[in-house]
Amino acid sequence: MQVIPHIHMLRIPFSISISDTITIERFVNTLVVAGSQITLIDSGVAGSEERIFDYIRSIGRDPSEIALLILTHSHPDHIGAAQAIRQKTGCEIAAHPAERAWIEDVNLQCRERPVPGFHSLVGGPVPVDRLLDDGDAVELCARHGLDCIVFHTPGHSAGSISLLVNRSGLLFTGDAVPVAGNIPVYDDVLASVVSLKRLARIDGIRTLLASWDEPHHGILAYQHLRNALAYLQQVHTAVLGAAAASPDDLMAICRRTVAALGLPPDAATPFLARTFSAHLPLCNRPRLLIDEDVLSDDRAGGGAGPRSLLT
Protein backbone atom coordinates (compact mmCIF):
# COMPACT_ATOMS: atom_id res chain seq x y z
CA MET A 1 0.00 0.00 0.00
CA GLN A 2 1.05 3.61 -0.51
CA VAL A 3 1.71 5.19 2.89
CA ILE A 4 2.46 8.69 1.67
CA PRO A 5 3.13 9.97 -1.87
CA HIS A 6 6.07 8.05 -3.40
CA ILE A 7 6.51 5.71 -0.41
CA HIS A 8 4.88 2.28 -0.31
CA MET A 9 4.89 -0.40 2.39
CA LEU A 10 4.84 -4.05 1.36
CA ARG A 11 4.08 -6.81 3.89
CA ILE A 12 5.94 -10.06 3.29
CA PRO A 13 4.74 -13.15 5.22
CA PHE A 14 7.13 -15.96 6.14
CA SER A 15 7.40 -18.92 8.49
CA ILE A 16 10.02 -19.96 11.03
CA SER A 17 10.20 -23.65 11.94
CA ILE A 18 11.15 -23.85 15.60
CA SER A 19 10.94 -27.65 15.65
CA ASP A 20 9.30 -30.51 13.75
CA THR A 21 5.99 -29.62 15.37
CA ILE A 22 6.20 -25.86 15.96
CA THR A 23 6.07 -23.24 13.19
CA ILE A 24 5.77 -19.52 13.83
CA GLU A 25 4.02 -17.38 11.23
CA ARG A 26 5.59 -13.95 10.89
CA PHE A 27 5.67 -11.04 8.50
CA VAL A 28 8.13 -8.27 7.75
CA ASN A 29 7.49 -4.88 6.16
CA THR A 30 9.69 -3.48 3.43
CA LEU A 31 9.46 0.02 1.98
CA VAL A 32 9.51 0.94 -1.70
CA VAL A 33 10.43 4.56 -2.36
CA ALA A 34 9.41 5.37 -5.92
CA GLY A 35 11.40 8.46 -6.81
CA SER A 36 13.28 9.22 -10.01
CA GLN A 37 14.91 5.89 -9.17
CA ILE A 38 13.70 3.31 -6.67
CA THR A 39 15.08 2.85 -3.17
CA LEU A 40 14.19 -0.22 -1.12
CA ILE A 41 14.38 -0.28 2.65
CA ASP A 42 14.97 -3.89 3.76
CA SER A 43 14.54 -6.91 1.51
CA GLY A 44 12.53 -9.51 3.41
CA VAL A 45 13.49 -13.17 3.56
CA ALA A 46 14.96 -15.26 0.75
CA GLY A 47 12.56 -15.42 -2.18
CA SER A 48 10.89 -12.10 -1.35
CA GLU A 49 12.40 -10.46 -4.41
CA GLU A 50 9.63 -11.71 -6.71
CA ARG A 51 6.90 -10.32 -4.46
CA ILE A 52 8.78 -6.99 -4.32
CA PHE A 53 9.32 -6.95 -8.09
CA ASP A 54 5.65 -7.75 -8.73
CA TYR A 55 4.57 -4.88 -6.51
CA ILE A 56 6.94 -2.48 -8.27
CA ARG A 57 5.43 -3.52 -11.61
CA SER A 58 1.92 -3.04 -10.18
CA ILE A 59 2.63 0.65 -9.55
CA GLY A 60 3.86 1.13 -13.11
CA ARG A 61 7.58 0.95 -12.43
CA ASP A 62 10.25 -1.61 -13.29
CA PRO A 63 12.50 -3.54 -10.89
CA SER A 64 15.51 -2.49 -12.97
CA GLU A 65 14.99 1.00 -11.52
CA ILE A 66 16.08 -0.17 -8.06
CA ALA A 67 19.27 1.78 -7.40
CA LEU A 68 19.67 1.48 -3.63
CA LEU A 69 18.78 -1.07 -0.96
CA ILE A 70 19.06 0.22 2.61
CA LEU A 71 19.26 -2.47 5.28
CA THR A 72 18.09 -1.34 8.71
CA HIS A 73 20.09 -4.22 10.20
CA SER A 74 21.54 -7.61 9.35
CA HIS A 75 18.95 -10.12 10.62
CA PRO A 76 17.62 -12.79 8.23
CA ASP A 77 14.17 -11.30 7.57
CA HIS A 78 15.78 -8.02 6.51
CA ILE A 79 18.70 -9.20 4.36
CA GLY A 80 17.31 -12.51 3.09
CA ALA A 81 16.57 -11.38 -0.47
CA ALA A 82 19.35 -8.78 -0.70
CA GLN A 83 21.68 -11.01 -2.70
CA ALA A 84 19.02 -11.83 -5.31
CA ILE A 85 17.91 -8.20 -5.60
CA ARG A 86 21.47 -7.04 -6.11
CA GLN A 87 22.18 -9.76 -8.67
CA LYS A 88 19.09 -8.84 -10.69
CA THR A 89 19.34 -5.04 -10.47
CA GLY A 90 22.97 -4.16 -9.66
CA CYS A 91 21.74 -1.89 -6.87
CA GLU A 92 23.96 -0.39 -4.19
CA ILE A 93 23.68 -1.84 -0.68
CA ALA A 94 23.80 0.47 2.36
CA ALA A 95 23.94 -0.38 6.08
CA HIS A 96 25.48 0.69 9.39
CA PRO A 97 29.16 -0.28 9.89
CA ALA A 98 28.29 -2.46 12.91
CA GLU A 99 26.08 -4.67 10.69
CA ARG A 100 28.54 -5.08 7.84
CA ALA A 101 30.28 -8.26 9.01
CA TRP A 102 27.03 -10.22 9.37
CA ILE A 103 25.70 -9.00 6.00
CA GLU A 104 28.88 -9.86 4.14
CA ASP A 105 29.42 -13.17 5.96
CA VAL A 106 26.08 -14.79 6.74
CA ASN A 107 27.75 -17.96 7.99
CA LEU A 108 29.45 -15.86 10.66
CA GLN A 109 26.05 -14.47 11.64
CA CYS A 110 24.57 -17.96 11.80
CA ARG A 111 27.37 -19.12 14.11
CA GLU A 112 27.15 -16.09 16.39
CA ARG A 113 23.36 -15.71 16.36
CA PRO A 114 21.79 -19.03 15.36
CA VAL A 115 18.17 -18.64 14.28
CA PRO A 116 15.98 -21.66 13.51
CA GLY A 117 15.91 -22.18 9.76
CA PHE A 118 18.57 -19.51 9.20
CA HIS A 119 19.72 -20.71 5.79
CA SER A 120 16.18 -21.05 4.49
CA LEU A 121 15.61 -17.39 5.37
CA VAL A 122 18.84 -15.93 3.93
CA GLY A 123 19.71 -16.23 0.26
CA GLY A 124 23.37 -15.48 0.82
CA PRO A 125 25.87 -12.76 1.63
CA VAL A 126 26.02 -9.42 -0.13
CA PRO A 127 28.72 -6.71 -0.11
CA VAL A 128 27.93 -3.43 1.64
CA ASP A 129 28.81 -0.61 -0.74
CA ARG A 130 27.82 2.34 1.42
CA LEU A 131 28.15 2.75 5.16
CA LEU A 132 25.45 4.77 6.93
CA ASP A 133 26.03 6.32 10.32
CA ASP A 134 24.11 8.54 12.68
CA GLY A 135 23.13 11.86 11.11
CA ASP A 136 23.83 10.84 7.52
CA ALA A 137 21.38 12.02 4.87
CA VAL A 138 20.24 9.77 2.03
CA GLU A 139 18.57 11.22 -1.05
CA LEU A 140 15.35 9.40 -1.88
CA CYS A 141 13.64 11.53 -4.50
CA ALA A 142 15.46 14.65 -5.68
CA ARG A 143 12.52 15.75 -7.86
CA HIS A 144 10.27 16.06 -4.81
CA GLY A 145 12.93 17.03 -2.28
CA LEU A 146 12.64 13.80 -0.30
CA ASP A 147 15.56 12.53 1.67
CA CYS A 148 15.95 10.69 4.95
CA ILE A 149 18.10 11.20 8.01
CA VAL A 150 19.76 8.20 9.62
CA PHE A 151 19.31 7.64 13.35
CA HIS A 152 21.56 5.02 14.89
CA THR A 153 19.17 3.14 17.21
CA PRO A 154 21.06 0.17 18.68
CA GLY A 155 19.62 -2.35 21.10
CA HIS A 156 17.83 -4.81 18.84
CA SER A 157 21.24 -5.12 17.20
CA ALA A 158 24.43 -3.11 17.47
CA GLY A 159 23.98 -1.31 14.16
CA SER A 160 20.21 -0.97 13.88
CA ILE A 161 19.17 2.25 12.17
CA SER A 162 15.91 4.19 11.91
CA LEU A 163 15.13 6.54 9.03
CA LEU A 164 13.24 9.84 9.25
CA VAL A 165 11.89 11.05 5.90
CA ASN A 166 12.05 14.83 5.81
CA ARG A 167 8.98 16.95 5.05
CA SER A 168 6.69 13.99 5.66
CA GLY A 169 7.06 13.12 9.33
CA LEU A 170 7.45 9.45 8.39
CA LEU A 171 9.76 7.47 10.68
CA PHE A 172 10.75 3.90 9.81
CA THR A 173 12.27 2.12 12.80
CA GLY A 174 13.03 -1.36 11.51
CA ASP A 175 12.95 -3.61 14.59
CA ALA A 176 14.14 -0.95 17.04
CA VAL A 177 10.74 -0.56 18.72
CA PRO A 178 9.48 -3.64 20.63
CA VAL A 179 5.76 -4.33 20.49
CA ALA A 180 4.07 -4.70 23.86
CA GLY A 181 2.79 -8.23 24.35
CA ASN A 182 4.90 -9.64 21.52
CA ILE A 183 8.07 -11.71 21.76
CA PRO A 184 10.89 -9.26 22.60
CA VAL A 185 14.12 -9.50 20.60
CA TYR A 186 17.18 -7.42 21.46
CA ASP A 187 20.83 -7.83 22.43
CA ASP A 188 21.24 -4.79 24.68
CA VAL A 189 18.23 -3.69 26.71
CA LEU A 190 19.78 -0.45 27.99
CA ALA A 191 20.74 0.55 24.45
CA SER A 192 17.13 -0.15 23.43
CA VAL A 193 15.89 2.17 26.18
CA VAL A 194 18.23 4.95 25.07
CA SER A 195 17.20 4.48 21.42
CA LEU A 196 13.49 4.60 22.24
CA LYS A 197 13.90 7.73 24.33
CA ARG A 198 15.82 9.35 21.51
CA LEU A 199 13.15 8.51 18.95
CA ALA A 200 10.50 9.89 21.29
CA ARG A 201 12.28 13.25 21.27
CA ILE A 202 11.76 13.68 17.53
CA ASP A 203 9.27 16.45 16.88
CA GLY A 204 6.46 16.06 14.39
CA ILE A 205 6.29 12.31 13.80
CA ARG A 206 3.17 11.86 11.70
CA THR A 207 3.59 8.21 10.70
CA LEU A 208 5.54 5.57 12.61
CA LEU A 209 6.35 2.47 10.59
CA ALA A 210 8.15 -0.63 11.81
CA SER A 211 9.19 -3.90 10.27
CA TRP A 212 6.65 -6.12 12.05
CA ASP A 213 3.86 -3.89 13.24
CA GLU A 214 0.94 -1.86 11.93
CA PRO A 215 1.46 1.84 11.10
CA HIS A 216 0.83 4.34 13.92
CA HIS A 217 -0.19 7.90 13.15
CA GLY A 218 -0.03 11.21 15.00
CA ILE A 219 -0.29 11.00 18.78
CA LEU A 220 -0.62 7.22 18.53
CA ALA A 221 2.98 7.08 17.31
CA TYR A 222 4.16 8.64 20.56
CA GLN A 223 1.84 6.39 22.57
CA HIS A 224 3.41 3.40 20.84
CA LEU A 225 6.88 4.56 21.90
CA ARG A 226 5.64 5.00 25.47
CA ASN A 227 4.19 1.51 25.38
CA ALA A 228 7.47 0.10 24.11
CA LEU A 229 9.40 1.66 26.98
CA ALA A 230 6.86 0.37 29.47
CA TYR A 231 7.09 -3.10 27.95
CA LEU A 232 10.87 -3.17 28.36
CA GLN A 233 10.38 -2.35 32.04
CA GLN A 234 7.73 -5.06 32.30
CA VAL A 235 10.10 -7.60 30.76
CA HIS A 236 12.90 -6.46 33.05
CA THR A 237 10.76 -6.88 36.16
CA ALA A 238 9.66 -10.34 35.01
CA VAL A 239 13.24 -11.47 34.30
CA LEU A 240 14.48 -10.26 37.68
CA GLY A 241 11.66 -12.10 39.42
CA ALA A 242 12.41 -15.27 37.49
CA ALA A 243 16.15 -14.97 38.14
CA ALA A 244 15.55 -14.68 41.89
CA ALA A 245 13.80 -18.06 41.79
CA SER A 246 16.25 -19.83 39.42
CA PRO A 247 19.47 -17.79 39.36
CA ASP A 248 21.66 -20.38 37.62
CA ASP A 249 19.31 -21.84 35.02
CA LEU A 250 18.77 -19.60 31.99
CA MET A 251 16.07 -21.77 30.44
CA ALA A 252 14.19 -21.89 33.74
CA ILE A 253 14.42 -18.09 33.87
CA CYS A 254 13.12 -17.99 30.30
CA ARG A 255 10.13 -20.24 31.06
CA ARG A 256 9.21 -18.30 34.20
CA THR A 257 9.52 -14.98 32.36
CA VAL A 258 7.39 -16.21 29.47
CA ALA A 259 4.69 -17.25 31.94
CA ALA A 260 4.86 -13.92 33.80
CA LEU A 261 4.49 -11.98 30.54
CA GLY A 262 1.59 -14.12 29.34
CA LEU A 263 3.47 -15.23 26.23
CA PRO A 264 2.75 -18.65 24.67
CA PRO A 265 4.66 -21.42 26.48
CA ASP A 266 6.21 -22.48 23.16
CA ALA A 267 8.00 -19.11 23.08
CA ALA A 268 10.41 -20.33 25.78
CA THR A 269 13.30 -21.14 23.44
CA PRO A 270 17.07 -20.62 23.62
CA PHE A 271 16.58 -17.77 21.15
CA LEU A 272 14.28 -15.89 23.53
CA ALA A 273 16.52 -16.81 26.46
CA ARG A 274 19.24 -14.84 24.66
CA THR A 275 17.06 -11.72 24.91
CA PHE A 276 16.29 -12.27 28.58
CA SER A 277 19.99 -12.82 29.35
CA ALA A 278 20.57 -9.15 28.47
CA HIS A 279 18.75 -8.26 31.69
CA LEU A 280 20.76 -10.47 34.04
CA PRO A 281 23.77 -8.14 34.46
CA LEU A 282 21.24 -5.54 35.68
CA CYS A 283 19.84 -7.57 38.59
CA ASN A 284 20.74 -4.78 41.02
CA ARG A 285 18.87 -2.19 38.93
CA PRO A 286 15.11 -2.73 39.26
CA ARG A 287 14.26 0.29 37.08
CA LEU A 288 15.62 0.58 33.58
CA LEU A 289 14.45 4.17 33.12
CA ILE A 290 16.09 7.15 34.73
CA ASP A 291 13.75 9.71 36.35
CA GLU A 292 10.08 9.72 35.42
CA ASP A 293 10.21 9.37 31.67
CA VAL A 294 7.40 11.52 30.32
CA LEU A 295 6.68 11.41 26.60
CA SER A 296 4.15 14.05 25.62
CA ASP A 297 1.74 13.75 22.72
CA ASP A 298 2.41 17.44 21.95
CA ARG A 299 5.22 16.47 19.58
CA ALA A 300 2.78 15.06 17.04
CA GLY A 301 2.14 17.28 14.07
CA GLY A 302 5.31 19.33 14.44
CA GLY A 303 4.32 21.30 17.52
CA ALA A 304 6.72 23.24 19.69
CA GLY A 305 7.51 20.07 21.65
CA PRO A 306 6.68 18.94 25.16
CA ARG A 307 8.13 19.39 28.56
CA SER A 308 10.05 16.17 29.09
CA LEU A 309 12.06 14.59 31.87
CA LEU A 310 13.89 12.35 29.42
CA THR A 311 17.60 12.07 30.08
Per the domain annotation, does 255 fall within a domain?
no
| Sheet bearing 92-95, strands edge to edge | 2-4, 7-17, 23-34, 38-41, 66-70, 92-95, 130-131
Per the domain annotation, does 42 fall within a domain?
yes
pLDDT for the residue numbered 251 = 97
pLDDT for the residue numbered 27 = 86
Which CATH number characterizes residue 49's domain?
3.60.15.10
Task: Specify the pairing of strand 92-95 against strand 66-70.
Answer: parallel
Per the domain annotation, does 71 fall within a domain?
yes
Q: How many CB atoms lie within 10 A of CB 110?
A: 15
Instruction: Report the distance separating Cα 92 and Cα 70, nearest Å.
Output: 8
Per the domain annotation, does 304 fall within a domain?
no
Q: Where are the beta strands (DSSP E) in 71-213?
A: 92-95, 130-131, 137-141, 146-152, 161-165, 170-172, 207-209
pLDDT for the residue numbered 306 = 32
Residue 109 to residues 69, 160, 203, 250, Cα–Cα distance (Å): 20, 15, 36, 22
Per the domain annotation, does 248 fall within a domain?
no
**Series of mean pLDDT values for 10-residue runs along the chain (311 residues):** 91 78 80 94 97 97 97 97 98 98 98 92 97 95 82 98 93 96 95 97 95 93 96 97 93 97 92 96 89 48 34 29
Per the domain annotation, does 147 fall within a domain?
yes
Domain count, the chain: 1
Domain that holds residue 152: 2-176
Q: Rounded to the nearest 10 degrees, what angle do helices 250-261 and 270-277 cross at?
A: 90
Per the domain annotation, does 43 fall within a domain?
yes
Nearest Cα neighbor of 27 from 64, 80, 99, 91 is 80
